[in-house]
Amino acid sequence: MSILITGSAGRVGSKVVKRLLDQGDSVTGFDLRPSGITHVNYREVTGAFDDRAAAQRAAKGTTAVLHLGAFMSWLPSDSDKLHRANVDGTRVILEEAAKHKPRRIIFASSGEVYPENVPDYLPVDEDHPIKPRSPYGLTKQLGEEIVRFVERTTSIPATILRFSHTQDAAELLDPTSFFSGPRFFLHPKIKQQESFNNIAAVEKLKRQDDGTEALVLSRNESGRPFRMHITDTRDMVDGILLALTAERAAGRTYNLGATAPVDFAEALPLMAQLTGLPLKTIDLPGGGVFYETSNARIRNDLGFEPKWTIDRMIAEAVQARRDRIQAT
């Protein structure tokens, strides 16, 4: 008998596995990749979510399912892979898990279902219309539908958590990091914009490139600095475990993330000051990123209280960057 955690090798899933093992639970991990976690109460299945045989092995004896794994990509060419992993994968793993009558399903959805970066109103709350614009956001909307279908037809209570953008603090100042590299560093940002074929953005970015490593303060075409939520993985783990244990969370949908959004006009100068890196301010074509998402429902219902402000995350990121540089 154990708690099934999908995405057990991932940023969020691996930390949830460790927290549950620390508190004495038995856990089964399920991921394409091995997590490297070893523990007497830990079993791991490697395989794809939509592989029926692997899902069957992973689901054996499950007492609760935390479906935290997914494929994340914003490339239209990844659409088939996104639907296989996030839609069919969700259907197959939940069908297999439901046979064991777990007490709860927790599903990691995303603010991409609204989507937060094209909001009808601010702050974005859980009643905001769902009209995703990316293939990834669409797969999360369909994943939510599958979760509610399974809940309706099996009476296993489910909680949907619409995740904020989530990072380990150490990733923030790592130019090789999947999200923070292109978000905050000039060269990875040029590469990312080239892969999206955003020619106008690439030209603007390249004009600022003198060949040295630099941070980027992104603004929209009218000069408005980007603003978005960046939540520390540790706070997300707290929210997930609250949702798993609270009776009140059954059948509910919550935005899960930091209380205050990060204003890039404040965070980037701080990062530059603390690292000594040059900062380039760039007005990118289009409306840019500017949103605020309300976490009031999960705070009021479950007492969720995030602890990792962006300043605390940046302080840790600076130390991690120093350690990386020293190690090379």
| Count, residues near ligand NAD per rule CB under 6 A | 23
Question: What do you get for the CA distance between the two ends of the chain, in Å?
Answer: 44
Per CB under 6 A, the list member of 89, 115, 225, 306 interacting with ligand NAD is 89
Q: Does the annotation mark 291 as catalytic? A: no
Q: Is 49 in the site for ligand NAD (CB under 6 A)?
A: yes
Task: Fill in the per-residue mask, 305 to 324: x = in contact with ligand NAD (CB under 6 A), - = not in contact.
Answer: --------------------
Question: Of the listed pieces 26-34, 115-123, 147-155, 211-219, which binds ligand NAD according to CB under 6 A?
Answer: 26-34
Task: Fill in the per-residue mask, 106 to 145: x = in contact with ligand NAD (CB under 6 A), - = not in contact.
Answer: --x-x-----------------------------------
What sign does the CA torsion over 260, 126, 164, 307 have?
A: positive
Q: Is 215 in the site for ligand NAD (CB under 6 A)?
A: no
Per CB under 6 A, the list member of 70, 98, 106, 124 interacting with ligand NAD is 70
Q: Is 37 in the site for ligand NAD (CB under 6 A)?
A: no
Question: Of the listed pieces 11-19, 150-158, 266-274, 311-319, which binds ligand NAD according to CB under 6 A?
Answer: 11-19
Catalytic residue among 42, 114, 121, 136: 136
State the residue number with the nearest CB to ligand NAD: 10
* Least distance in angstroms from the C-beta of 50 to ligand NAD: 6
Site for ligand NAD in 153-192 (CB under 6 A): 163, 165-166
Report the residue number, 87 or 186, with the smaller CB distance to ligand NAD.
Answer: 87
Q: Is 254 in the site for ligand NAD (CB under 6 A)?
A: no
> Under the rule (CB under 6 A), what is the footprint of ligand NAD?
7, 9-13, 31-33, 48-49, 68-72, 85, 89, 108, 110, 163, 165-166
Catalytically annotated residues: 136
